[in-house]
């Protein structure tokens, strides 16, 4: 498979939230492609175990692990300095660290602070610490920010999480616009939007649900679409197809344009109209 020009053996990938889930799957994949891998996570013990697993899976790969709280800009800047100091290069920056457990719009202030600090603040810190240095390399490079479908359709439940992921979407869109308007810039930005994925954050049972993708499937899909030049890397899963995602996203946007109640998909008066809309949007086999 052809790959994005940044994904070249001997170059370097930096991944936050790398101790488990999608971040760990990305570290394994990048190391397997011959890249140096710098793995960052707040959980130092889990990170060390994950780094050892990556080294075992890709013998000869140069893997560095650094405990980092992405909510702290100085620590993210330290991650940048360590990476450029040791390797002189960053081909891929994957701002992936994330947590859940925020709360609704007026509860759990501590949860809000934690979720916004890690999910949104961590991505902002990564973008602000690394981007100019990556541009200055004058080599192909990619910034991959992990968003969520919950940042687009914003379902009821963890409003803090939705807000954080909606912020990542807006940030990454603005970043890509700035990059493409920068003369001579060889860095691209991309928004990874996983579907239902079996990760450390979503494990409610020891076995993967039939409807979920594995983290490795998400990364394989992400690299395929990254190579194709997609900005919105919208992942399906074993339950939700791209057609269903398209319909749900369109309906959510039309809450505004049709002047419906917010989150009308979950409103009792709009349950039947949404079901009819979804039925019309899905191609008949």
Choice among 30, 87, 130, 161 that is catalytic: 161
Spell out a b/e string for 109-122, using b for 16 or more CB atoms within 10 Å of the CB, else e: eebbebbbbbbbbb
Q: Look up tokens 């039939």; give the residue.
A: 210
Query: Does the active-site annotation cover 161?
Result: yes
Active site residues: 161
């Amino acid at each position: 498979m052809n790959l994005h020009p940044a994904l070249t053996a001997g170059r370097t990938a930096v991944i936050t939230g790398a101790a488990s889930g999608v971040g760990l799957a990305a570290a394994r994949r990048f190391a397997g492609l011959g890249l140096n891998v710098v793995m960052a996570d707040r959980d130092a013990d889990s990170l060390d175990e994950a780094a050892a697993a990556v080294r075992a899976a890709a013998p000869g790969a140069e893997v560095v692990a650094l405990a980092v709280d992405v909510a702290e800009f100085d620590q993210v800047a330290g991650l940048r300095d360590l990476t450029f100091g040791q390797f002189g290069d960053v081909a891929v920056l994957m701002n992936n660290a994330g947590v859940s457990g925020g709360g609704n719009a007026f509860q759990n202030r501590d949860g809000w602070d934690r979720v916004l600090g890690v999910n949104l603040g961590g991505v902002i810190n990564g973008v602000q610490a690394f981007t100019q240095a990556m541009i200055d390399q004058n080599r192909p490079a990619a910034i991959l920010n992990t968003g969520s479908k919950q940042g687009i359709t914003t379902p009821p439940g963890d409003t803090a999480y939705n807000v954080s992921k909606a912020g990542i979407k807006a940030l990454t869109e603005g970043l890509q616009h700035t990059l493409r308007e920068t003369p001579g810039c060889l860095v691209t930005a991309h928004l990874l939007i996983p579907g239902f994925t079996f990760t450390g954050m979503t494990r409610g049972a020891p076995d993967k649900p039939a409807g979920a993708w594995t983290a490795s499937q998400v990364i394989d899909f992400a690299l395929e679409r990254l190579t194709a030049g997609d900005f919105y890397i919208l992942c399906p899963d074993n339950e939700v197809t791209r057609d269903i995602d398209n319909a749900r996203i369109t309906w959510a946007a039309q809450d505004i344009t049709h002047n419906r109640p917010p989150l009308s998909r979950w409103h009792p008066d709009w349950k039947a109209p949404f079901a009819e809309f979804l039925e019309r949007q899905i191609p008949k086999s």
